[in-house]
Amino acid sequence: EIVLTQSPGTLSLSPGERASLSCRASQSMSGSSLAWYQQRAGQAPRLLMYGPSSRPSGIPDRFSGSASGADFTLTISRLEPEDFAVYYCHQFGSSPPTFGQGTKVEIK
């Protein structure tokens, strides 16, 4: 199975700063089979990014995604208070689907 390794585990930043989250796949995979989810405390995950740079409707354009080989990056250009949460990457191109272990973005 494809293992997704997210880094860093925790990112301590201030509102207004830029956040860069990494998700590395253990083997080559298509970016069209990768998604990112945001999970705020006590809530269900929410689809944030897919494909790897497409945003569902309602997701602000401060969120962007990119891919380079087996490395995927989620960038938040300027952190808003509601962006402090845990972010998970998810691959669904190879069975079984897998999730990364998550990156927590916390207020510094």
Partner 1 sequence: QVQLVQSGGEVKKPGASVKVSCKASGYTFTSFGITWVRQAPGQGLEWMGWIAGYNTNAHYAQKFQGRVAMTTDISTTTAYMELRSLRSDDTAVYFCARGSGYELLDYWGQGTLVTVSS
CA dist 19 and 15 (Å) reads 10
Closer residue to partner 1 (CB): 20 or 101: 101
Share of the chain residues as helix, strand and coil, in percent rounded to the nearest 5: 5, 50, 45
Cβ at position 18, least distance to partner 1 in Å:
24
Closer residue to partner 1 (CB): 18 or 26: 26
Q: Tell me which residues touch partner 1 (CB under 8 A).
A: 35, 37, 44-47, 50, 56, 88, 90, 92-93, 95-102
Closer residue to partner 1 (CB): 9 or 81: 9
Distance of CA 71 to CAs 2, 17, 40, 54, Å?
Answer: 13, 22, 24, 16
Cβ at position 56, least distance to partner 1 in Å:
7
Cβ at position 104, least distance to partner 1 in Å:
10
Instruction: Kindly state the tokens that stand for 10.
Output: 């925790």
Q: Using an 8 Å Cβ cutoff, are 59 and 49 in contact? A: yes
Closer residue to partner 1 (CB): 56 or 60: 56
